[in-house]
Amino acid sequence: MITCSAPGKVYLFGEHAVVYGYSAICCAIDLRTRVHVEHSDSIMIESSLGMTRLDLEIHPYVTKVIEKMQEFTEIRGVKIKIESEIPVGSGLGSSAAVTIASIQALNELFSCNLKSEDIAIIGHEIEKQVQGSASPTDTYVSTMGGVVMIPERKKLNSIDCAIVIGNTGKFSSTKKLVANVGELRGEFPNIIDPILTSIGDMSHNAEIFVNHGDYSSIGKLMNVNHGLLDAIGVGGAELSELVYAARNSGAISAKITGAGGGGCIVALANDTDIENVAKAIRNTGAEAMITRNTDKGVRLES
């Protein structure tokens, strides 16, 4: 049996602005999806959603991965088991992680010789097929790990402090929120474009702070980024409650991560404040997850 894993991600800067070509900074987090594969007589896919054969309803990503991998090798039978620490549909890149880890696991099992760059490209293709549209960010970060500037694909230094995630548990549709921002921009281009430009500029300023480990400056800009996301209409009462709970309990910074509307916030915290920040988030009734940046992208575990 072969096991491969791939990480989820948070946006430190730049979601929504990245849709219009501005820069964003994304950070792989140490919440992983593990995919176990072994040779078998038939195709079986097992996850917390159940056990299926090729099934585009229940296991769309893995089904598409198996279909795609038939271009590189003949897969008559394989048993695939998925275990994930990444909550589904909350903007933390769960679909990218399962896609990337599955590609790598089959790549290893059938010796297809695909390189990281190929895996990231195939992963993005599959996300597009399943979702209709998808940015290459999640699949790229999940493949490469670390901290990455998008669209430049530039690796920055690691973030070396705790990352606390607060999950509203409220479903958020990336497609709908991206469309809402597009509409607002269409109506008030002279107001919204400078905000998106400012978010993109923030990523460039932050690049230097990330590379110097200046968390205080990173934090100030993340807080500004949150305000601008709120300004373009992707915030909400639940998200703001979590952001202020985190900041008021000692977080360095807190902002929406991902599409907004629901989903998650990301807070940076010094080691001494981790528990207080997580507790403050939990006290609002939301889920808190404590994690860190990981340099390990997709990898063979055993």
Active site residues: 138
> Smallest distance from the beta carbon of 124 to ligand PMV, in angstroms?
11
> Smallest distance from the beta carbon of 93 to ligand PMV, in angstroms?
6
Pick out residues in 252-271 that bind ligand PMV (CB under 6 A). 258-259, 263
From candidates 5, 6, 12, 15, binder to ligand PMV by CB under 6 A: 15
> Smallest distance from the beta carbon of 195 to ligand PMV, in angstroms?
14
- 12 contacts 252 by C-beta, under 8 angstroms: no
From candidates 4, 12, 19, 266, binder to ligand PMV by CB under 6 A: 19
Interface with ligand PMV (CB under 6 A), residue total 14
> Smallest distance from the beta carbon of 281 to ligand PMV, in angstroms?
18
From candidates 7, 87, 91, 219, binder to ligand PMV by CB under 6 A: 91
Residues 4, 66, 56, 120, CA torsion sign: positive
Nearest to ligand PMV of 37, 96 (CB atom): 96
> Smallest distance from the beta carbon of 153 to ligand PMV, in angstroms?
14
Rounded distance between C-alpha atoms, residue 52 and residue 56, angstroms? 10
Nearest to ligand PMV of 94, 107 (CB atom): 94
Q: Does 238 bind ligand PMV (CB under 6 A)?
A: no
Q: Does 98 bind ligand PMV (CB under 6 A)?
A: no
| Interhelix angle 116-131/60-69, nearest 10 degrees | 130
- Amino acid identity of residue 118, one-letter, is D
- Amino acid identity of residue 116, one-letter, is S
Q: Does 167 bind ligand PMV (CB under 6 A)?
A: no
Q: What are the structure tokens assigned to 270, written together? A: 């010094």
The secondary structure of 66-125 as a DSSP string is HHHHTTTS--S-EEEEEEESSPTTSSS-HHHHHHHHHHHHHHHHTT----HHHHHHHHHH
Residue 255, Ramachandran bin (φ over 0: left; ψ between -120 and 50: alpha; else beta) = beta
For the chain, counts of helices (H) and of strands (E): 9, 12
Binding site for ligand PMV (CB under 6 A): 15-16, 18-19, 91, 93, 135, 137-138, 174, 178, 258-259, 263
